[in-house]
Amino acid sequence: MLTNKPIEIVRVMSLAALFAFAGSAAVAQTTTPTPRPQQREATRPPGTETQNPNLPPGTQPAAPTAPPGTQQPPPTAPPGNPNAPTARPSPVTPTDPTRIATPEVITPTTDAPIPEPQEPVFPNVEKRPLPPMPNLTRLGVTSDNTMTLSLNDAVRKALQNNNDIEIARDDVRFAETQLRSLEGIYDPIFSLTPQIDKRISPQQNRFAGATTSGTNSNTTYSINPSVFKQFSLGGGSYDLTFSNSKTKSNSTANLLNPFFSGNLGLTFTQPLLRNRSIDNNRRQIRIQKKRLEQSDADFRLRTIDVISRVQQAYWELVFALRDQQNQLENLNLSRENLRNVEAQISVGAKAPLERAEVQTELANRESALLVSVQNVSIAENNLKQLIFRDSNTPEWSAQLTPTDKPAFDASPVNLNEALKEARDNRPELRRLRLDNDINQIDLQYFKNQTKPQIDLTGTLALTGLAGTAFPLFDENGLPVIDPDTGRQVFSAPDNLRGGNNKMLSNLFSGNTRNVIVGVSIQFPLRNRTAKANLAGAEIQKNRLDATIRSQDQAIEVDVRNAAQAVETARLRVLSAREARINAELQLEGEQRLYQVGRSTTFLLFQRQNALTNARNSELRAETDYNKALASLQRATSSTLRSNNVVVENPVP
């Protein structure tokens, strides 16, 4: 058993070798089709496929970028070639695991021609002319009428022609006339009353000298001049009257017929308590004097305001004109760029699309230029309104050309000096102080009205009489003779016989006179009117004190804001200058890069616009600095002094 076991092992190995040899021989006798290029490409790793040399350029299948197993099968023919061979898969017997499905190739009868590549067709592009410049003509302004104007000239014209200043000046004049009107109360008043008085009256007294008809007839011719005057000191007054008359009568009882009579009287009244130190007339005059000073303060305030507005409008016009110049220069740069691009497009160095970019920027800059022209018209009209008298002035059609340039001072503002100057010179504070003075006058007057009224009165009168006397006769009709003088006796003594001159002589002799001296006393029992007026004046005083404090705070805020605006504008000027210098350097560098082809039109436009904005920012900062200086002068009321304007004080 042990000897036969190795022999069996040898037999088994021999049979296995025989079966292996027979299987390999059968496989060698089976025909295997040659793999197609598509089959070989499908078995390559992704990204190592070979290109078909028979396909035209641009129709080669792209290398798959998807992971293995997710790739789409490549096309078997170039797109658009219907004669390319198509592959049909051959059926595979499921029971034969050694068979692999191979596509059946159908060969076309004819080969398709491969198209030759064509040359690109370029359109014939011609150089276009530059578009015309925009119309910069302003309505209502002629280019041949130019008016050069400095800031001092503008201020002088405003002082002469501005209607607001004229109104304020007339207010001062009107206040002067009102003061003179009130002072006229102390002018002497002369009056004259000539008249004829004829009276026929019945008489019931036998001694009245009635005629047989029982009546008396009297005719009087009189001239009565008088002079009345009030005193501005002490509140007294006097009344001087003179009465001169001639009377004719048919009365038999008169000793003189006709006769002349005269009366010269002087009446004087002097207050002792009420209305002595101040009365209503003197109160009104004192108040009007303060009103006159207030009108002067209002005139100064209005003048300062107009000058400040002229300064603001002048510098705004300067900015508008320089902004127009900057926009015009920026537009010319765009036109030059368009000219260069058109030349490059005409020779084929640039695409026609470059023209659209330049023309877009050119249109934007033309729009900015037209807006700047409109701003020039607005600024110019605002200045003309301030310096011209009316709309019919021929200078309205002139172009204003400012000659002054914005000034700049690097030194900061002294706030303490500005505040002190404002409190000393601001017309608003001066007006409130005058209101306080008026209130003091009211307090004095209403307090005086609470006192009793005691007036000293006096009258001095002189009288005179003269006329025509008739001689006396006795019962026998003979003249009566004075035994002492031996002369005929008349109906009146010798000192009364004569005409008007004799009457005046008798009057001024002082032999006949009247003297009256008295006191007029009035005690108000409650006097509620005067007390109520005094209480109202005291309330007004408290109100004015609060108003002055409020105005002082407003001036403090105004000066501080104006000073801060000047300081901010000063720093803005320094920053804007630095920005403009850097923008110029950036544009210069960008232009060099553009010339050598290392930059684009878009970047060049950006640098140009940045430089224009930087220049406008610098100009705006300089203009705002000068406008801020004008505002600070207005806030401190130093505008008149800074512009050499002298305002005369009104004559009370």
Per-residue confidence (pLDDT) for residue 11, from 0 to 100: 57
d(CA 501, CA 187): 31
Q: Are residues 546 and 632 in the same domain?
A: yes
Per-residue confidence (pLDDT) for residue 305, from 0 to 100: 93
Is 386 within a domain? Answer: yes
> Mind giving me the DSSP string for 133-197?
PP--PPTT--TT-EEEE-HHHHHHHHHHH-HHHHHHHHHHHHHHHHHHHHHGGGS-EEEEEEEEE
Strands 189-202 and 215-230: antiparallel
Per-residue confidence (pLDDT) for residue 350, from 0 to 100: 78
Any idea which of 56-70, 339-353, 415-429 has the lowest mean pLDDT?
Answer: 56-70
- Whether the Cβ atoms of residue 604 and residue 586 lie closer than 8 Å to each other: no
Phi then psi dihedrals of residue 457, to 5 deg: -125, 150
Give the three-class secondary structure for 604. Answer: helix
Place of tokens 């001689």: 471
pLDDT (mean) for 253-267: 88
CB atoms under 10 Å from CB of 338, counted, come to 21
Is 94 within a domain? Answer: no
Apex 444 CA angle, 442 and 449, nearest 5: 95
d(CA 358, CA 341): 8
How does residue 126 score in pLDDT terms, banded at 50, 70 and 90? low
Per-residue confidence (pLDDT) for residue 94, from 0 to 100: 40
Cα Rg, the chain, nearest whole Å: 62
d(CA 94, CA 100): 10
d(CA 342, CA 348): 10
Higher pLDDT among residues 163 and 602, named by residue:
163
Strands 86-89 and 103-106: antiparallel
- Render pLDDT for 535-583 as a digit per residue (tens, 0 to 9): 999 999 999 999 999 999 999 999 999 999 999 999 999 999 999 999 9
How does residue 13 score in pLDDT terms, banded at 50, 70 and 90? low
Higher pLDDT among residues 177 and 33, named by residue:
177
Phi then psi dihedrals of residue 526, to 5 deg: -125, -40
Q: Which distant-in-sequence residues (6+ apart) come within 8 Å of 498 by Cβ?
A: 466, 467, 505
Q: Are residues 265 and 333 in the same domain?
A: no
Is 445 within a domain? Answer: no
Q: Are residues 620 and 557 in the same domain?
A: yes
- Render pLDDT for 617-641 as a digit per residue (tens, 0 to 9): 888 898 899 999 999 999 999 989 8
Q: Are residues 379 and 300 in the same domain?
A: yes
Q: Helices 601-636 and 528-595 sit at what angle, rounded to 10 degrees?
A: 160
- Whether the Cβ atoms of residue 457 and residue 267 lie closer than 8 Å to each other: yes
Count of structural domains, the chain: 2
pLDDT (mean) for 384-405: 90
User: In a 10 Å sphere around its CB, with 0-12 CB exposed, 13-18 middle and 19+ buried, how is residue 439 labelled?
Assistant: buried
Is 87 within a domain? Answer: no
Q: 512: closest CA among 255, 259, 262, 243?
A: 262
- Render pLDDT for 453-473 as a digit per residue (tens, 0 to 9): 999 999 999 999 998 887 877
Residue 324 predicted with pLDDT over 80? yes
Is 196 within a domain? Answer: no
- Whether the Cβ atoms of residue 436 and residue 294 lie closer than 8 Å to each other: no
Q: Which two tokens stand for residue 29?
A: 């006798």
Domain CATH code at residue 611:
1.20.1600.10
d(CA 11, CA 514): 197
Q: Are residues 517 and 535 in the same domain?
A: no
Q: Are residues 305 and 418 in the same domain?
A: yes
Q: Are residues 286 and 337 in the same domain?
A: yes
Q: Are residues 495 and 632 in the same domain?
A: no
Per-residue confidence (pLDDT) for residue 483, from 0 to 100: 79
How does residue 211 score in pLDDT terms, banded at 50, 70 and 90? low
d(CA 86, CA 77): 8
Q: Which residues of 64-89 are buried (b: 16+ CB within 10 A; e: fewer)?
A: eeeeeeeeeeeeebbeebeebeeeee
Q: Which distant-in-sequence residues (6+ apart) come within 8 Å of 168 by Cβ?
A: 295, 298, 299, 302, 303
Residue 41 predicted with pLDDT over 50? no
Per-residue confidence (pLDDT) for residue 65, from 0 to 100: 42
Last residue of a domain, one of 478, 504, 522: 522
Q: Are residues 427 and 555 in the same domain?
A: yes
- Whether the Cβ atoms of residue 605 and residue 361 lie closer than 8 Å to each other: yes
> Mind giving me the DSSP string for 329-394?
HHHHHHHHHHHHHHHHHHTTSS-THHHHHHHHHHHHHHHHHHHHHHHHHHHHHHHHHHH-SSTT-G
Q: Are residues 499 and 538 in the same domain?
A: no
Last residue of a domain, one of 522, 548, 573: 522
Last residue of a domain, one of 504, 522, 540: 522
Q: Are residues 421 and 561 in the same domain?
A: yes
Per-residue confidence (pLDDT) for residue 359, from 0 to 100: 87
- Whether the Cβ atoms of residue 303 and residue 168 lie closer than 8 Å to each other: yes
Beta partners for residue 201, in sequence order: 216
Peptide bond into 412 cis (omega under 30): no
Is 618 within a domain? Answer: yes
Q: Are residues 482 and 616 in the same domain?
A: no
pLDDT (mean) for 121-133: 68
CB atoms under 10 Å from CB of 630, counted, come to 24
Highest mean pLDDT: which of 10-24, 200-214, 466-480, 589-603? 589-603
Any idea which of 204-213, 334-343, 436-445, 639-648 has the lowest mean pLDDT?
Answer: 204-213
Is 630 within a domain? Answer: yes
Q: Which two tokens stand for residue 203?
A: 């008489």
- Whether the Cβ atoms of residue 167 and residue 303 lie closer than 8 Å to each other: no
d(CA 423, CA 635): 10
Is 249 within a domain? Answer: yes
Domain carrying residue 373: 282-438+530-642
What length does the chain have?
A: 652
